Chain A
Amino acid sequence: MPILTLKFKDSNIGEYDIKEGQSLTIGRLDKNDIVIENLAVSGRHAKIDGMDDGYLITDLKSKNGSFVNDLQISSHWLENNDVIKIGKHILIFAYKEGEKHFESAASGTMDQTMVMDTAAHKDLLAKSVPDLDTAMKKKESIGILSFLSGGEGEIELTKKLIKIGKDSSSDIVVGGMMVGKTAATISKRPQGYHLSYVEGMSKPKVNNEAVKESVLLKEFDIIEIGSVKMEFILK
């Protein structure tokens, strides 16, 4: 049974055992197993579950959050000597000598999933990504087709799947005898925009090469379908 040592400003206030299969609640109200009387602590602040494969601390949507080794958590698998911070108090989680430790990050592989608090994530991003705003805008860039012939102006590729063809319900209507009802589609995927040939006797061309099935579009690629010629740009 590991122990939780409650400390405040360097003095030990209490020690609590966590039994396997048990839950320990932590908070300001009397009914908690560990009562911390401090205004920075919520009535029901957090709990620690002793489970089959480890000890899990979960924040119970407290006002000021729960921290393990200075990292704000919503749920976290505890390791030997982890420092839990609740309000201004500290709880040190430690296995007794000779006791079996449940392996997790210590062994080098983090095989337990947890979710990072959004605010904490934003902080982390702000610290390690220089010029976060520009980077985020770049990530969300939208593709644009600029007409070179057969049409005028530009089309923003906002839809996830864009249909190009003779059919009047297509997003981009293209004329031509050999052009299919839906000649091609452009789909936005994590890797970028893909142009795919669907049907029709003539195949779409990208930089003068026929697209037999699917191709990832690069900026400034020239796309030809039937009567239309367009350039692919990223905004």
Chain B
Amino acid sequence: MVVIESSGITDVGRKRKGNEDALFLDNDQKLYVVSDGMGGHKAGEVASEIVVETLRDYIKRFKKGNDVEELVDSDETLSKKANRLLSGIHLANKGVWKVSNSNESYSGMGATVSTVYFDDKTFISANVGDSPIFLVHNENIELISVPHTVLAEHEALNPEGAKSLGKEYAHMLTQAMGIGETVKPDIFETPCFKGDILVISSDGLTDMVSPEEIGDVVISERPEKACRSLVDLANDRGGKDNITVIVIKIKKITKKKGGLLGLISRIFN
């Protein structure tokens, strides 16, 4: 079992009039979600809200004690919990898609989703779009989400050719929640270690602050203070977009010890 200290905040930034980001932390279910919405008028806010609420409500159904039937259609390369998260994401996508088709003012709306969900000693990370998820392990920060942008996908296939692509392709998404009837999230399962730190944010943070700087802040400050510092840093540099960040610190990983020894250690922990 993983013992976690976490915190998350969202800020409208210095330039935008509204906040189209949404976030959600559930320390009970150990589920953390960031969603960055887009679209005309209030559509962006609606899209990200649908994503966050759908995922939150879906995963809550699997709370211990509730009797929920397991999914029929599952991916064999993934664990049970990862399949669950994937289903939640597909459900959220359909939710946004349906609303975007129901009302002309919502047409074209979409959102990114980046989420971390903990299993026994591993964490599952999944994303659609370009909101980043970072893992800080042994003082090294690594991007563990896959950016679904035209530029990033080009770079992955042809680094040389990607150099000649215009800068506008850096933020142009190749997929987002709600744009189509289905999505293909990138999903990974990774073992966690004591001291590891996970950061989920919207690109409003990473457009203004480098990964190395993010790493420095989360290593040296506790999650709540780190979130505040990162938002302030992005705002100081212009705050061009909405800024959202969740910081998750792994304090301890406890082993399930059976028998008398296990009982004793659980009493004293």
Contact = CB atoms under 8 A, between A and B. Distances in A.
- By secondary structure, the A interface counts as mixed
Counting chain B residues whose Cβ lies within 8 A of the other chain, the interface size class is 35 or more
B52 interface: no
Nearest to B162: A128
Given A109-B240, A190-B145, A194-B190, A128 B179 contact: no
Contacts of B41: 23, 49, 51
Interface residues of A, number: 52
B187 A52 contact: no
B4 interface: no
A190 B144 contact: yes
B158 A129 contact: yes
Interface string B111-154: 01000000001100000001000000110001111100010011
A188 B190 CA distance: 8
Nearest to B175: A115
Given A23-B40, A191-B142, A160 B77 contact: yes
B266 interface: no
Contact of A160 (B36, B40, B78, B142): B78
B170 to A, nearest CB: 7
B92 interface: no
Interface in B170-197: 170-176, 179-180, 186-191, 193
Q: Nearest 8 pairs between A and B by C-beta?
A: A58-B108, A161-B189, A49-B40, A135-B157, A129-B158, A52-B17, A128-B161, A160-B189
30 contacts: A52-B18, A56-B39, A58-B40, A58-B107, A60-B104, A74-B179, A105-B168, A109-B240, A110-B168, A113-B38, A113-B112, A114-B38, A115-B174, A118-B175, A121-B153, A124-B154, A128-B162, A128-B165, A129-B157, A130-B161, A139-B156, A159-B76, A159-B78, A160-B78, A160-B188, A187-B190, A189-B188, A196-B191, A199-B255, A214-B191
